[in-house]
Amino acid sequence: MTQLASAVGSTPLHEQVRSLLMREIDAGTYAEGERLPSEPELCERFGVSRITVRRAVADLEGLGLVHRQQGRGTFVAPRREVVGTMTVGGFADKVVGDGVKSRRIMRAEIIPAEEKHARRLGVPVGDPVFHLVRVFALDSTPLSIDDSRYSLTRFPDFDSHIDHDTSTYQVLRDVYGVEFSEMYREIDVGFTNEQTARWLGRPERDPLIVIRKRALDTHGEIVHTSRVKVVPSRVTLNMVARSTDGTATTASVAGDS
């Protein structure tokens, strides 16, 4: 029997089962087209109820990793190709691919700067901040969430220039004359919650690549802060660094497909 952590104060049992099966499928323990163990076999292996196993397998099917055949069982689906590539370099992180790119605004609100965000933006606590959350997609497949904040004291009426088709960087350059100078990034790992899972079409507690960003202009002023959450199974993440002689070094992080 595979030992699972207690669900009390921990990850739910069906998510633990799902994660273990995902790792085994990715490692080739179950080959493409191979049938997974039956529900009773999985129940015995993990020491969980049939309802728990069914929820875990349903999640796997929702991810496109398996498909169920009535009366025959559950089989490993053909491996999928990543949808797009995100290049992390320069100032705007760009997603490229063969599909049609789109942006969808999930939240656009003016809020007073809380202490944490005021510090990061370099503005007084309580200053008006434009909070913009967008989902980026290729051919309607969600790839990432961009959660950004902009000072409305520095960029008055910035919110009025933004719609689903707008490039925020283009607005900052064209309307406010911003000249970007530096971009700081921190790359971490996170997980979907109930809301982000729904926006991205993923299960809860699904792994994400998290990129925290802070953009500065040529005067050293903070232009905006962002937190970008990327679905690693749908995107290959490329990072480019330039040496002092101008040559480029590229590092690539590919998502599981």
Same fold, 13-76 and 84-254: no
As a whole number of Å, the CA-based R_g of the chain is 22
Q: What is the structure's pLDDT at 207? A: 84
User: What is the CA angle 141-215-173, rounded to 5?
Assistant: 85
- Residue 251: its H or E element: strand 248-254
The residues spanned by each domain of the chain are: 13-76, 84-254
Band of residue 248 on the pLDDT scale cut at 50, 70, 90: very low
In this prediction the pTM is 0.70
CA distance 209 to 147: 14
pLDDT of residue 245: 52
Tell me: the pLDDT tens digits for 30-88? Answer: 988 999 999 999 999 999 999 999 999 988 887 778 988 888 999 998 865 566 777 77
Taking all residues of the chain, what is their mean pLDDT, rounded to a whole number? Answer: 86
For domain 13-76, which CATH number applies: 1.10.10.10, 2.40.50.180, 3.40.190.10, 2.60.40.10?
1.10.10.10
CATH of domain 84-254: 3.40.1410.10
pLDDT, one tens digit per residue, over 186-220 is 999 888 999 999 999 888 888 899 999 999 999 99
